[in-house]
Amino acid sequence: MSGRFITIEGGEGAGKSTAQAFIAGKLEQQGCSVVCTREPGGTPLAEAIRNTLLSLKGEAPVDMAELLLLFAARAQHLAKVIEPALARGQWVICDRFTDATFAYQGAARGLSCEAISSLESLVQGSRRPDAVVLMDLSPEIGIARARARGELDRFEQEDRAFYDRVRVGYLTRAEAQPARYSIVDASQPLDAVQRDLRHLIDQWTSHG
């Protein structure tokens, strides 16, 4: 079975990392070779950009600088990790990707979708995720989960209206492309979330 490029999206604390570990474990049990990675990040340079973007210290980037830094990290990550893994036939399970840019920098910060789409084509060529799992959760619960886990980063200091726009941005994209996106109700208890994820894994592997 050849690998697929799966991305996991959603607001703060929606359970993306937990879902990623679960999906990777199930695929590995089926004999798939899996690479787990994340954005921003995934290579030393891209992780350095992540640290800069998430930090509360120093000069905060203006919105356009934030957008360009995210795509700079993405270019490095694609070239060094994602494309080589897919070329080897591995599955790539990525915690956030370009849908996060449309939701955060587009819907929430208000940068133009056309500008983001242009950068998407420039940096990614025709590469798009084969499937996007949207962990949908109200920002209230997500931020409470993130807060319970520890200190909040720069993105986690935004106001409630920002996260509402992020959520609507994600849902709008998911509803426009139902073949590629699967929405998981992330407010459910973990075992119900994992049951839904198992259905998705079955779909992906039965079309392999």
Closer residue to ligand T5A in complex, CB, 10/129? 10
Least separation, in Å, of the C-beta of 106 and ligand T5A? Answer: 9
CB-neighbour burial class of residue 177 (10 A; exposed 0-12, middle 13-18, buried 19+): exposed
Closer residue to ligand T5A in complex, CB, 1/17? 17
Least separation, in Å, of the C-beta of 2 and ligand T5A? Answer: 25
Closer residue to ligand T5A in complex, CB, 17/43? 17
Least separation, in Å, of the C-beta of 207 and ligand T5A? Answer: 26
Cβ–Cβ under 8 Å, residues 13 and 142: yes
Nearest 10 degrees: Cα torsion 144, 146, 151, 153: -110
The site for ligand T5A (CB under 6 A) is made up of: 10, 12-18, 38-40, 54, 70, 95-96, 100-101, 104-105, 145-146, 149, 155, 186, 188-190, 193
Residue 114: count of CB within 10 angstroms of its CB:
9
List Cα–Cα distances, 188 to 2, 131, 135, 143, in angstroms: 32, 21, 11, 16
Cβ–Cβ under 8 Å, residues 11 and 156: no
Closer residue to ligand T5A in complex, CB, 78/186? 186
Least separation, in Å, of the C-beta of 160 and ligand T5A? Answer: 14
